[in-house]
Amino acid sequence: MIAQFFYIGAQVGVNAFFIRFAKFSAGISEKDAALLLGSVAGTGFMIGRFVGTGLMRLVKPPTLLAIYAAVNVLLLIIAMTTKGNVAVWTVLAVPFFMSIMFPTIFALGIDGLGADAKLGSSLIIMSIVGGAICPPLMGLISDASNIQMAYLVPLFCFAVVFWFATKGYKLDRAL
């Protein structure tokens, strides 16, 4: 539940603030930024889902989830510390690596629940409320500093997903 909460918070925040981010960091018009978001990020997400699904034949899902989460942390660090096209294109690359997160977190979260799978899956689905909580935090940070610093929120969210992929999904199995 926690990983899905933070993943959805990151997904909504990265996309919801992109137009403002592109205008601030690279001077891109709102119309052009919206076009980039819809075409580049949307296409990247779709391609990432196919590539990720294929990669899962070679790489265990938790490992691939950890790699994708770590790449997104790195991309957001670059986006927050650079300006211009580099900042914009690093954020546009994030959806490619978000593409496998929802289904992978969901599958890992319900794995081994047995009779409790229905309850577990319901709780994981309800945790998408993260998409309503994280973006306002980004807005507060943006208002207090700037939009680039607001991307600390999704950066933290992807760090939580990384933790889940490496340790968190195994916690109940260790008991």
Which CATH superfamily hosts domain 2-170?
A: MFS general substrate transporter like domains (1.20.1250.20)
pLDDT of residue 175: 42
Length of the chain: 175
C-alpha angle 104-96-129 in degrees, rounded to nearest 5? 55
Rounded to whole angstroms, how far apart are CA atoms 143 and 165?
32
| Residue 154's pLDDT band (cuts 50, 70, 90) | very high
b/e per residue 108-132 (b: at least 16 CB within 10 A): bbbeeeeeeeeebeeebeebbebbe
* Helix, strand or coil, per DSSP, at residue 112: coil
| Residue 112's pLDDT band (cuts 50, 70, 90) | confident
pTM: 0.92
Rounded to whole angstroms, how far apart are CA atoms 58 and 6?
26
Rounded to whole angstroms, how far apart are CA atoms 144 and 131?
21
Query: Is 173 a residue whose pLDDT tops 60?
Result: no
Query: Quick check: 69 and 161 in contact, CB under 8 A?
Result: yes
What confidence tens digit (pLDDT) does each residue in 46-86 have? 999 999 999 999 999 999 999 999 999 999 999 999 999 99
C-alpha angle 83-84-85 in degrees, rounded to nearest 5? 125
